[in-house]
Chains A and B, each alone.
Chain A
Amino acid sequence: SQTIHQWPATLVQPVGSPLSLECTVEGTSNPNLYWYRQAAGRGLQLLFYSVGIGQISSEVPQNLSASRPQDRQFILSSKKLLLSDSGFYLCAIGASYNEQFFGPGTRLTVL
């Protein structure tokens, strides 16, 4: 079965600092991977998705970027965090019939 790991679990960062969130998956190869953000009281917003190594599609223009250096590794980054970047960041894996399964998430607070 597939397992999704995300770290760190929680993070508190000052405005203007860099960010790196990591997602790794086990139990599958060549998965479709997704980064979502869930802001307080709001729905899930798709940020990036990847269908393979080095292939990244961006859904929302912003100060975030994503990379996929290995088949089962997906990284979300920022050079300078904004207050509005606070939220719950979720990595998801795509399965048959477009089902998506989520990792445990990273809660980011930007102060």
Chain B
Amino acid sequence: QKEVEQNSGPLSVPEGAIASLNCTYSDRGSQSFFWYRQYSGKSPELIMSIYSNGDKEDGRFTAQLNKASQYVSLLIRDSQPSDSATYLCALSKGGYQKVTFGTGTKLQVIP
């Protein structure tokens, strides 16, 4: 079982819709969870961090964490074509532990 699992996609959503990206993980000791956005040919950019169960909102982005079910999700409201990218889920056990990345979900927002 992979430490971090994501559907590779592509996930296609129309402009203005809500995009829902999901990630499951295997290590119950994981404490810190991250979502990165990576445009084609560019380096990953941190867009959300979440550390406790529940929702965390930042602008059009909402991260959701459910440690009991071992999943973390990212919702993008009012999706824009500029949101088209690959979204990487990542996690760590806290402290200065290493960060483990998923392989990413490719999102396509159709105008």
Query: What's the least CB distance linking A80 to chain B, in Å?
Result: 27
Contact A99-B43, Cβ < 8 Å, known A42-B103, A46-B98: no
A104's contact among B43, B51, B95, B102, by CB below 8 Å, is which?
B43
B92's contact among A98, A101, A103, by CB below 8 Å, is which?
A98
Tally of chain B residues near chain A (CB < 8 A): 23
Q: List the interface of chain A (C-beta within 8 A of B).
A: 32, 42-44, 46, 49, 51, 59, 88, 90, 94, 97-105, 107
**Apart from the given pairs A46-B98, A97-B32, A102-B43, 12 other A-B contacts in the complex at a CB distance below 8 Å:** A43-B101, A43-B104, A88-B43, A97-B51, A97-B94, A98-B97, A99-B34, A99-B46, A100-B46, A101-B46, A102-B44, A105-B42
Question: A100 vs B98: C-alpha distance in the bound complex, in angstroms?
Answer: 10
Are B43 and A90 in contact, CB atoms less than 8 angstroms apart? Answer: yes
B99's contact among A90, A100, A105, A107, by CB below 8 Å, is which?
A100
Q: Of residues A98, A99, A104, A105, which shows the largest number of chain B Cβ atoms within 10 Å of its Cβ? A: A98
B96 nearest CB neighbor, chain A only: A32
B95 nearest CB neighbor, chain A only: A98
Are A99 and B96 in contact, CB atoms less than 8 angstroms apart? Answer: no
List 29 A-B pairs, Cβ < 8 Å.
Answer: A32-B96, A42-B103, A43-B88, A43-B101, A43-B102, A43-B103, A44-B44, A44-B101, A90-B43, A90-B44, A97-B49, A97-B94, A98-B32, A98-B94, A98-B95, A98-B96, A98-B97, A98-B99, A99-B32, A99-B46, A100-B46, A101-B46, A102-B43, A102-B44, A102-B45, A103-B43, A104-B42, A105-B43, A107-B41
